Structure 1
């Protein structure tokens, strides 16, 4: 009884908080992945077009890019 009360065995004790904390760890991991993806996208989009082509980076179409293309196309005409 004493060994189980103080958990002197080599197996970890189950806690009612563990599933709750596990959920937070998974949310944190997803947040870190999304933040890294956003940072990578920002860095790659900031590179000059020549380097983007060399790296085979095709940025996803964005609203700002379509507005920029529309403005530059209207200026050239």
Structure 2
């Protein structure tokens, strides 16, 4: 395995993680009613712990 193959795999993993986090943020930004309709667990809006974890980890889930 060459160094370029390893870098390519690492880059693909980063891109996949970025796309997944962007999707999670988009779903979390929907109103709770719509989240419930599509089966996405409604995120607590006023929970300070959820806000802190969202800031530190990128998403509350």
TM-score range with shorter-chain normalisation? 0.5 to 0.7
Q: Which residue of 1 aligns with 2:39?
A: 56
| Normalised TM-score (structure 1) | 0.54
Q: What is the aligned-residue RMSD (CA, Å)? A: 2.8
Aligned match of 1:67 in 35, 48, 57?
48
Greater Rg over alpha carbons, structure: 1
Partner residue in 1 for 2:8: 25
Shift of 1:58: 1.8
Partner of 1:36: 19
Task: Determine if contact 2:27/2:35 at 8 Å carries over to the other structure.
Answer: yes
User: Would the alpha carbon gap of residues 48 and 59 (structure 1) be closer, same or farther in structure 2, given more than 3 Å must change?
Assistant: closer
- Where does the alignment leave 5 or more consecutive residues of structure 2 unmatched? 51-61
The structure with higher relative contact order (CA 8 Å, sep 6+) is 2
Aligned residue-pair number: 50
